[in-house]
A and B are shown apart, each in its own frame.
Chain A
């Protein structure tokens, strides 16, 4: 009993003591260390670690160092609730900066609102998520889909498309936008099929695809296993149509070997971006992590830039007060590996998009770049 009393009074004393200048600013990173996102999550954590180390080496933010709190959200809603609860209410983080599945993000948003914690979401997603606490520095369908469809329309003379996806928010959201965009640009969608996220046998869908006579395929599966099984089975069935994959990243493409050759991807980051900022970033990453380095990608680089965006916002706001930081986030712009990023379009960011094609050696060759693609009206003010 006495020891519990002692603990309670200690905790009280700790809570009452004023924040000293050296108190770290805590950044919460809820991320899918297990589950569907576990393939990409380590690279996201590495990005955050590099950003924090660089900032701390230069004296931190307003004299305070940054500290990371990484929590596993299990890539899903249930895990995300626990992770957000722990980070916001127990660790009392000042900000959340992370890449997550849409299910995890949606589960976390009410908790973020209750805790009044700014949340910088660094994953591309299906768009139109409009919490006042949420900022997004990655792409939405309006930015990613047009490069692929425009290219197929013009260069491949594609008129009819077949869409294949995993049955979840991102898969369906991406493809419904893709379908609307194809129809707007004069094409036709001759088939649209989904498999549950844990499904691994795409045979009937592939047979339908072959029977449909489509000129091109666009897929949006869950990352990792479904993407791999679909690509392998498409190749095994001899499908060699122009193939746009909305969910594959450079690293996965590389490890898939020959099966990935020829796939078209559209991304805001590829390792081959020819800029000084990107080269410095890649050199610092490989210096810090050496052989353990996970290839930086379109999901991990925004995390790095997200930490810098938060730094800039805190400096502009003169402190970590959530409301001031949220206002400042829309105004600051930062120079990152992807170029200048400024989340000033209804809490989303215009981005330079790259259309790439996977080469036989697994590298991604940039075919065309599209500077400053606007995210469109993601969160129009209510009239």
Chain B
């Protein structure tokens, strides 16, 4: 039972870390960044390069974030900027961009599966259960992402202007907020978070040019049901991630892989605003 709870909570933590970058972009810009999976992959490879260079993990993670943020900023300035009025085209463009990034990674690093050594190995004893230490660390990482994120949004000037742009962009512009700069910074942070999550999952997964893809559909569904709110995202990760673990454990893991998509569709059908309060 305790194992089941730990499975559910750590799965929710992983989902939260991976979806948060997608959420921030969707929240501010109302577009879905389908290149998210590619930025996750970029983060995985940044971790690979960092660990090959012998950097400690305390530096590997910022390296992944910065790499992702730079890629994101370039993407926003060159591609996404022109597509804010055309959200459907933005999906196509970012999906295409994801393919391009995947191919560039393949050209540089090759197709093969690569490996990053985990900074933390083994298990910890927790109330009589031996559990993977790294997955426990993921819970802390998820909480950290949430705290930093919330502090950034509610405690800084940037957060204030961002919230202004989210609420009413015209009005914010009228008050002298440079909304295009807010968008640039937000997209960069979102991409940086994606890359950071990519680096964080490398000890549990392999590094290959498609490593981000299996996570994309779940992340997309979770963001859809949480409607742009970080708190709602946390709630949906715990609920839907929990259901996924329960289905995988008691029915079978193949069905478990579909759970999030199916549950999200049902939730949106019954309650279009999903887990968001608004």
Contacts and interface: CB of A to CB of B under 8 A. Distances in A.
Contacts of B214: 198-200
A39 B117 CA distance: 19
A229 B111 contact: no
Interface string B205-218: 11010110111000
B273 interface: no
B135 A236 contact: yes
Nearest to A37: B111
Given A39-B113, A225-B206, A225-B211, A195 B254 contact: yes
Given A195-B253, A224-B113, 7 more contacts: A39-B112, A196-B254, A199-B257, A200-B206, A203-B7, A225-B210, A232-B118
B103 to A, nearest CB: 10
Interface residues of B, number: 40
Contact of A204 (B115, B206, B248): B248
Nearest to B215: A200
A215 interface: no
Contacts of B112: 38-39, 224
B122 A238 contact: yes
A204 B255 CA distance: 12
Contacts of A210: 3, 130
29 contacts: A34-B111, A39-B111, A39-B112, A39-B113, A195-B254, A195-B257, A196-B254, A198-B214, A199-B257, A200-B205, A200-B211, A203-B7, A203-B245, A204-B245, A207-B7, A210-B3, A225-B210, A228-B115, A228-B205, A236-B132, A236-B133, A236-B203, A237-B131, A237-B132, A252-B113, A255-B114, A255-B115, A257-B115, A257-B117
B115 A201 contact: no
Contacts of A257: 115, 117
A236 B204 contact: yes
A38 to B, nearest CB: 4
Nearest to A256: B115
A342 to B, nearest CB: 34
B123 interface: yes
A167 B254 CA distance: 8
A238 B134 CA distance: 11
Interface string A152-167: 0000000000000001
Interface in B205-239: 205-206, 208, 210-211, 213-215
B10 interface: yes
Contact of A238 (B132, B215, B254): B132
Interface string A313-338: 00000000000000000000000000
A211 interface: yes
A235 B113 contact: no
Nearest to B129: A210
Contacts of A198: 213-214
B257 A229 contact: no
A262 to B, nearest CB: 14
Contacts of B134: 236
B115 A238 contact: no
Given A34-B111, A198-B214, A211-B3, A204 B118 contact: no
B121 interface: yes
B67 interface: no
B205 A203 contact: no
A56 interface: no
